[in-house]
């Protein structure tokens, strides 16, 4: 299991930020060629992203590159370059239908695809998008989605909650990773911590980030707590005991647990080990 607690966006035009990311405690580095890069810097950013992917040095962190939309000349050039460089995955923006992904796969020589869900059309097409073979991850694009919906999320993100839950449902139905959208708060504040906790409670695997100061809060929120680890160990040990053989439900610490709780507990322990 690979943890995805914290996925940090970095402008691929910023060589110093790329170098710094090699020592940051995030699980995923997303080199951005799209929103974070000025039009006149697109070519330089693409070259630096390719160099970073080929140069390595990121340790256990996954390296993902967000390309420009394939409807643009820059997007096509990004796809050609990354098809050769072979990052861990390519993040595709402005996905609105399954054909967007299959088109990208042909250009990217079947690299794993992560899809930004950031438009109303994408939300409506979620079941079909999530079913595309070769797709690995759905990423909530909350800023763009809020803009297109003309809603005002606020700190509780209430207008976006149905759409965030739909992303998680689609991901779970097809065995995909699901990442929550970014927070615009650039420091570890109560608002950021609450948003990370909300994403974890919704079922996301992690959160996309835009500043290193956000990493610690995301890593805490999307990793099992000590209490959850202890409970998982107790459940696994109880089902491993001889007296539990052949039973579908047993008593653990005064409550009934079933084998579905065993499966969940095994995942908790695997995630805890991977996060460590």
Task: State the binding site.
Answer: 66, 118, 144
Give the residue numbers of the binding site for Mg(2+). 118, 144
Give the residue numbers of the binding site for substrate. 66, 118
Closest by CA position to 96, among listed 69, 57, 67, 129: 129
Separation of alpha carbons 115 and 95, rounded Å: 6
Spell 122-155 as b/e; 16+ CB within 10 A means b: bbebbeebbebeebbbbbbbbbbbbeeeeeebee
- CB neighbourhood size of 57 (10 A): 12
């Amino acid at each position: 299991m690979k943890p995805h607690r914290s996925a940090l966006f970095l402008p691929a035009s910023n060589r110093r930020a790329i170098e710094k990311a090699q020592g940051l405690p995030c699980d995923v580095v997303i080199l951005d060629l799209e929103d974070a890069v000025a039009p006149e810097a697109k070519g330089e950013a693409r070259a630096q992203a390719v160099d970073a992917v080929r140069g390595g040095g990121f340790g256990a962190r996954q390296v993902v590159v967000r390309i420009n939309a394939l409807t643009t000349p820059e997007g096509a050039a990004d796809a050609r370059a990354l098809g050769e460089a072979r990052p861990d995955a390519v993040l595709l923006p402005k996905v609105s239908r399954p054909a967007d992904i299959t088109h990208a796969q042909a250009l990217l020589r079947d690299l794993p695809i992560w899809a930004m869900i950031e438009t109303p059309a994408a939300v409506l097409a979620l079941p079909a998008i999530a079913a595309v073979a070769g797709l690995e991850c759905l990423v909530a694009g909350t800023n763009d989605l809020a803009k297109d919906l003309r809603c005002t999320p606020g700190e509780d993100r209430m207008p976006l909650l149905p759409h965030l839950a739909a992303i998680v449902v689609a991901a779970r139905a097809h065995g995909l990773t699901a990442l929550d959208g970014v927070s615009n708060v650039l420091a570890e504040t109560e608002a950021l911590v609450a948003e990370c906790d909300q994403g974890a409670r919704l079922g996301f695997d992690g959160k996309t980030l835009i500043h290193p100061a956000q990493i610690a809060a995301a890593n805490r929120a999307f990793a099992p707590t000590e209490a959850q680890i202890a409970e998982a160990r107790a459940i696994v040990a109880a089902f491993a005991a001889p007296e539990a053989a052949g039973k579908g439900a047993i008593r653990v610490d005064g409550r009934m647990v079933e084998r579905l709780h065993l499966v969940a507990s095994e995942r908790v322990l695997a995630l805890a080990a991977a996060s460590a």
